[in-house]
Amino acid sequence: MIVPVERGEFNSQETFLICVESVPTEKAFLTRAKVKPDHYAAELIRTLYDSLFHRSLDLRLDFLSYYQIEYRSFRRYARKRLLFPMSVANTAESQFLCGARMFQFRPSLNFIEGNFGRTFLEGLLDPRRTR
Amino acid sequence: MIATQASGQSGPKVHMNVVEALEKISKALGILATQTAIENRAGMYSKNVLAETLLLPVFQILVKAPDLKSLNDTSPTAPFLDLYSKEKKLGIQVTTETTAQKITDTVMGVIKGRPGRKQLVIFLLTTSKPHYKTATKKQWKRLCGKRIRFDPDRSIFAIDGLYASIKLAKEQEIRAIEDVISRSIVGERFIDVEKCLKTLSHRQLDYEKETGKYIPDVFVEKRETKNLARTFAHPALFLRRTLEALVRADNPLRNALLSKAGLPLLTFPPIPQTPQRSLDDTYAVASNLPNQFVELRDILKKYRELTFKDPPPFPVKPERLYYYKESIWPLECLGIFLGYRLDDLMRELSAVSSRILIITGKAGQGKTNLVCDFTENFLLKHGIPSAYISPRMLRSMATADLGDAIQRLLFDNRARSFQEAAELLSQHARLANKPFILIIDGINEHSRISNFAEKLEFVLESAMLYPHIKVLLTCRSEFFQQRFGKLIDGPLKKHVLLLESNDFRVEREFQDELVAGYFSFFKVESSHVSEVVREILKKDTLLLRFFCEAYGAKGKSQGYVQPYIPNIQREDIFEKYLDRKIGAASELWKAATGKTNDSDAKTELREVLVSCIKHMLDNNQYANVPVSAIPVTLSEPLEALLEEELILRRDLAENQSIFSSPDERLNFTFDEFRDFMISHYLVHRVYAKDPKEFERYIQTATPKESQVIEGVKRFLFYAARNGANTKFLEFYESQPWYTSVYSDEVFFVDPRLLTKTDSDKVLECLQSGGSSARSMVTNLAVRWSARVCPHLNLDLLLGFVAQCSDSQFDDIIRPSFRSSWESDDGASAKAFCKFLATSILPKRAPNRRLPEHPLYRLLVILMPVDATPDLNSDAFRLLREIFESNVTYVEDLLWQALDYKMSVHRPYVWRLLSCNQSELADDDPLVKRALAEKSTSTENAVLQQEVSRFLQRRCSNIARENT
């Protein structure tokens, strides 16, 4: 699931909340993308995988390790600490309660921009939806 | 034997002292034995605490090993030894387990551990030592051989054995041991540090809540200030977070770009692993790591400043020069994003190792709220030893020694000195593996600020001698450099991290929560506050504060019932606020002076304010009133007013010359409140005595202080219109000041005091157009209930719109409701549709007899606002939705709208009417109206098209004829 975090009046950086049941392996990710491991496309997908799951903040872990004592719930953490809009904070909490892993993703790769990019990314994250 | 020795040395008095000391030791060890016997080892009786606070110093004396120290978790023999003396090569294990297996494990562990330990002692935390079999003892001796000196009969002992050893010690040693034991958990002079600190912090938090300086749950963590404070206060935990962030920042994409551009690659220094660390280890990592990033940050700085004109900052491979030239912008981005990210993370590392954190900010920016929220939700919840105090509390200690005042506040005078308190806190912090945080909020609020600054510096220097003690200070920015500058220039500089918390705007959703938080705290009945008022309060936090204090039930008598508040009436709010604050200040003053007469106190406090305002008006200077302007006889009430900065605050004036030091001046805490006070003074003191003098003032008031004059004009307008002073209204109505603010301020007059004349004036203003007409439009639209606002309301606006022309619509109506991408003030067409859809429609279906009816009429008018060329807008979409389930009602609305003079909205009306599926007869009035419209609007192509669409869809006969 990809939840866009609305750009606020004073916040112009595009951010997405990436929710997955579990983090796929890099190999599975490449398979889902239907790219051959030694091709240029695989290079791009590997970079995307790294950006998503290694360079983005793992919100579940961040909350459990550092903020759970301070904020009573994930919703409060998402709202008060991350300043997510209320609707996104509510979605994040329900995802958290379902045990999902969540990443605060700030895209920096051109090929996942726009609607096409988002559909492509959704397919990689949850192949059942696009099958 | 010891007693005899003592008497032989120092006579009967000493003999008694030693006996007394032994009795006390015996009693304390008895308590220890009982407690351990019943296995009450939770909390303060945990083995580690006892080993550190009680047994370590006792063994240091008994075995004459001052270097005996506690082994931390990183030692390879930590599971087998608790205390170790390097000099004596002596290891001591403290254990509650008495089994032979445990002893065997310890012996084996020590032998296998680091070599060099020669002697092993096992202290059993039990009443007495159990009997071990001879075979077992032989086995232990065999295991130790000559490697470790360990005699099972003498090297294992329990509490009774410890007492026996103490009895054999010298007199001086017994006294020293008695001193240690008396201060330990089982001693009579024991101080429960945790309990003392918690009590103090809770007391201060309650006080801040009581005075309304801390409003729980409204703090918005917009900047990183709070996170740096977290890192500062819980370094062992948050260093891990920073190290993880550094690992994430090391993105390989960076080097892909640099490689393609033919530039040298950038490598991150190795980031240390992130296990649980001791405080000392944490500080060491945080101090060393930034040095390893210096080179990388310098390179990034060069990329950050890269321009198209300059030559490459580093040698570029010639064959890749073409790529470099095309990548200057991405390289600059790399320098900016990674560079600033590393700057932030280095700041976090510096927060870990800093000992003093100073948060500065302008007045009213929420420093106290930040500190209180931080204490309540972070420090206390994480069990971080901390004490939250204020200069007011320190002053109340009535001692010249600041250190002494602090220790008395913390431990109720049970520590002998600040040094002893600091030692205790340092030890407590080390055991908890969390530093002790002393918070002094608002250091600028001390009445003798220069003196206090010197003392504070001295106390901080003393505190820095004790490890694990950290201090968090808050101060108003303007005072900091002048009064406390030495903290960042002098010897404390290396310990200090200075953070300037800047003002920030909050987004609309947070404004809603802010208002809800204030309402809940001050017990404001939300259903008794109109939507109009809520919208105004969202935009003005100061007014929100005044409003809540004036109308909320908090601090008021039990029978208080909040009235319904349809409108913001500033004069009423400020009067109530003044009354409350004068009351609070008089309580403070009475407490300080011992005086009992309440009315005397209030009169004198008011006189201080009068003196201040008089000086402002006499000198035409509305800020920085010299303290000397207040008569000396009023100095005590002045101090009471300055105490909590409720009404007046102390400021520093600019230096008159480079040789003079800045002197202290007085200002009103809130500018709007000052304007209210000035207007009050003008009406009740100047006009009441001499109207001509009043007239002279308003004629000579110069626009130099335009902001103040605008504020005063506004409050004079309210004073004239409050219904209590008709004589003043008669006089003031003819003054130019009255008319100049009329269009903006008439909406803030109590609706019950408005008249038909006001309606006529507002209509006149709408007719004349321009910006004042536009501001009136939204003011009228939000006052949609004629029951609450009988005169100036939405009906009046709709009456005007019905008669207005297309050009008036474009000049006044459309811009007033247009949405802006920059901000949403709640009065745009979009916000209006949202309000209708979420707050009105779910409650009840539209009906012309309901008070909400005018809202639906407005919706029709709003259809052209923010519309796309295909006639789509928020209002159109909402009305179409309503139309589906309320056909007759909406058709009536649309039919009525066709009678309006303007034509801008008509295409939308006809398109909506064409959405209805029912067919109409040729002689239906609506069909006739459509045919008439078609024939008269030949120049308006869009309208023609929509009327034709209507006729085609709903009147098949005519459509056939047309075909």
Q: How far is CA B679 from CA A21, B539, B546, B692, in A?
A: 64, 24, 18, 16
- CB burial string B597-635: b at 16+ within 10 A, e below: eeeebbebbbbbbbbbbebbbeeeebeebeeeebeeebe
- Contact at CB, B248 and A9, closer than 8 angstroms: no
What is the predicted pLDDT for the residue at A130? Answer: 46
Do A55 and B245 meet the contact criterion of CB atoms below 8 Å apart? no
**Shortest CA distance from B374: residue in chain A:** A70
Which helix (H) or strand (E) element contains residue B120? strand B119-124
Q: Is the predicted pLDDT of residue B33 greater than 80, yes or no?
A: no
**A6–chain B Cβ distance below 8 A for any pair:** no
Going by pLDDT thresholds of 50, 70 and 90, the confidence category of residue B116 is: low
Going by pLDDT thresholds of 50, 70 and 90, the confidence category of residue B47 is: low
How far is it, in rounded angstroms, from Cα B530 to Cα B572? 16
Going by pLDDT thresholds of 50, 70 and 90, the confidence category of residue B473 is: very high
What is the predicted pLDDT for the residue at B643? Answer: 72
Torsions phi, psi of B866, nearest 5? 60, 30
How far is it, in rounded angstroms, from Cα B650 to Cα B642? 7
Residues of A in Cβ contact (< 8 Å) with B504: 10
Q: SS3 for B723?
A: coil
Angle between helices B235-249 and B225-233 (to 10 degrees): 120
For B414-427, the pLDDT digits (tens) are 788 889 889 889 98
For B357-411, the pLDDT digits (tens) are 999 887 667 788 889 999 999 999 999 999 998 887 787 777 778 888 888 888 8
Do B698 and B726 meet the contact criterion of CB atoms below 8 Å apart? no
Do B425 and B385 meet the contact criterion of CB atoms below 8 Å apart? yes
Mean pLDDT of B417-446: 88
Do B124 and B98 meet the contact criterion of CB atoms below 8 Å apart? yes
Alpha helices in B464-593, H assignment, sequence order: 477-484, 486-489, 508-522, 531-539, 541-551, 570-593
What is the predicted pLDDT for the residue at B472? Answer: 95
- Where is average pLDDT lowest: A75-84, B365-374, B494-503, B554-563? B494-503
Q: Is the predicted pLDDT of residue B238 greater than 50, yes or no?
A: yes
Nearest to B253 among A47, A56, A80 (CB): A47
**Shortest CA distance from A87: residue in chain B:** B509
Q: Is the predicted pLDDT of residue B961 greater than 80, yes or no?
A: no
How far is it, in rounded angstroms, from Cα B358 to Cα B500? 8
What is the predicted pLDDT for the residue at B244? Answer: 92
What does R_g of chain B's alpha carbons equal in angstroms? Answer: 39
What is the predicted pLDDT for the residue at B291? Answer: 93
What is the predicted pLDDT for the residue at B11? Answer: 38
Q: Which residue, B289, B232, B288, is CA-closest to B499?
A: B232
Mean pLDDT of B934-943: 85
Nearest chain B CA: its distance from A88 CA (Å) = 12
Compute CA B796 distance to the chain's CA centroid, rounded to the nearest angstrom. Answer: 43
Dihedral-angle region of residue B384 (phi above 0 means left; psi in -120 to 50 means alpha; beta otherwise): beta
For B274-299, the pLDDT digits (tens) are 666 788 889 999 999 999 999 999 99
Report which DSSP code applies to A115. Answer: H
For A15-63, the pLDDT digits (tens) are 888 898 888 888 888 888 888 888 888 888 888 899 889 999 999 999 9
Nearest chain B CA: its distance from A8 CA (Å) = 7
Residues of A in Cβ contact (< 8 Å) with B248: 54-57
What is the predicted pLDDT for the residue at B697? Answer: 82
The encoded tokens of residue A32 equal 């889902």
Strand partners, B358: B473, B498
Q: SS3 for B468?
A: coil
Which residue type does B307 have?
A: T
**B824–chain A Cβ distance below 8 A for any pair:** yes
What is the predicted pLDDT for the residue at B77? Answer: 47
- Where is average pLDDT lowest: B329-343, B604-618, B705-719? B705-719
Do B456 and B496 meet the contact criterion of CB atoms below 8 Å apart? no
Residues of A in Cβ contact (< 8 Å) with B333: none
pLDDT > 90 in chain B, percent: 20
What is the predicted pLDDT for the residue at B10? Answer: 39
Residue with tokens 């490459």: B312
Residues 8-67 of A with CB under 8 A from B: 8-11, 47, 50-51, 54-57, 62, 65-66
Q: Is the predicted pLDDT of residue B3 greater than 80, yes or no?
A: no
Q: SS3 for B926?
A: helix
Residues of B in Cβ contact (< 8 Å) with A71: 377
Q: How far is CA B331 from CA B252, B320, B322, B340, in A?
A: 14, 14, 14, 14
Going by pLDDT thresholds of 50, 70 and 90, the confidence category of residue B920 is: confident
- Contact at CB, B507 and A8, closer than 8 angstroms: yes
- Contact at CB, B507 and A80, closer than 8 angstroms: no
What is the predicted pLDDT for the residue at B439? Answer: 93
What is the predicted pLDDT for the residue at B5? Answer: 33
Residues of B in Cβ contact (< 8 Å) with A10: 504-505, 507
How far is it, in rounded angstroms, from Cα B650 to Cα B639? 10
The encoded tokens of residue B894 equal 């649309």
Residues of B in Cβ contact (< 8 Å) with A55: 248-249, 251
**Shortest CA distance from B219: residue in chain A:** A80
Going by pLDDT thresholds of 50, 70 and 90, the confidence category of residue B566 is: confident
Compute CA B333 distance to the chain's CA centroid, rounded to the nearest angstrom. Answer: 32
Mean pLDDT of B184-203: 81
Do B349 and B290 meet the contact criterion of CB atoms below 8 Å apart? yes
Number of A–B residue contacts, CB under 8 Å? 48
Q: Is the predicted pLDDT of residue B657 greater than 70, yes or no?
A: no
Going by pLDDT thresholds of 50, 70 and 90, the confidence category of residue B312 is: confident
On the CB side of B124, CA atoms within 13 Å amount to 21
Strand partners, B91: B84, B120
Which residue type does B621 have?
A: Q
Q: Is the predicted pLDDT of residue B2 greater than 60, yes or no?
A: no
Mean pLDDT of B145-165: 84
Residues of A in Cβ contact (< 8 Å) with B249: 55
- Where is average pLDDT lowest: A114-118, B425-429, B687-691, B904-908? A114-118
Predicted ipTM of the assembly: 0.91
Q: Strand order of the sheet with strand B625-626?
A: B625-626, B664-668, B648-652
User: Both ends of chain A: CA-CA distance in Å?
Assistant: 15
- Where is average pLDDT lowest: B547-551, B792-796, B923-927? B923-927
Q: SS3 for A101?
A: strand
Nearest to B507 among A9, A54, A65 (CB): A9
